[in-house]
Amino acid sequence: MKLLTFIGCGLAYAAIFSLNAQDDLNQSIERGKELYMESCVTCHLANGQGLKGTFPPLAKSDFLLKYPEKSIHSIKFGMNGKVVVNGVAYNNAMPPSGFADDEIADVMNYIRNAFGNKNTQLVTEKMVAAVKEK
């Protein structure tokens, strides 16, 4: 009986934790969407498609999902040089966003869960802070 109580409590705790984590992700996505629409939409467009050969897509982006640290770095510090996204080479400059670490986390959570992307791993301010300029 004690084992069943222990298991039941564990399952209840896991369910509550999961719901809270999902709420945190959803709230971050909403904040990130606002930031994206203010700053990122100019180059990457409202649909995340970018401009082939000039501005890489965020929609269904293999780079974005495969290299989250590099994606964080590019938002935080900007990016110069060649990058390959979905098999297409891009060689343009992206300026640093000027966002704080918590805002970068929000934008990452938005773009990783919009435009046909789906990634339920929450990008946190702590994860962003850990990415340093090289």
pLDDT tens digit sequence for 46-87: 999 999 999 999 999 999 989 999 999 999 999 999 999 999
Asked whether residue 17 carries a pLDDT value surpassing 50, the answer given is no
Q: 2-130: which CATH number, 3.40.50.300, 3.40.50.1110, 1.10.760.10, 2.60.40.2550?
A: 1.10.760.10
- Alpha-carbon distance of 22 to 124, in angstroms, equals 13
- Alpha-carbon distance of 105 to 128, in angstroms, equals 6
pLDDT score recorded for residue 25: 95
Q: What are phi and psi of 4, to 5 degrees?
A: -65, -40
pLDDT score recorded for residue 22: 85
Kindly report the pTM of this predicted structure. 0.83
C-alpha separations of 53 from 76, 84, 90 in Å: 22, 10, 5
Asked whether residue 117 carries a pLDDT value surpassing 50, the answer given is yes
Residues facing residue 91 across a β-bridge: 82
Contact 32, 24 (CB under 8 A): no
Q: Once rounded to an integer, what is the mean pLDDT over residues 76-101?
A: 96
Asked whether residue 33 carries a pLDDT value surpassing 90, the answer given is yes
- Alpha-carbon distance of 3 to 88, in angstroms, equals 55
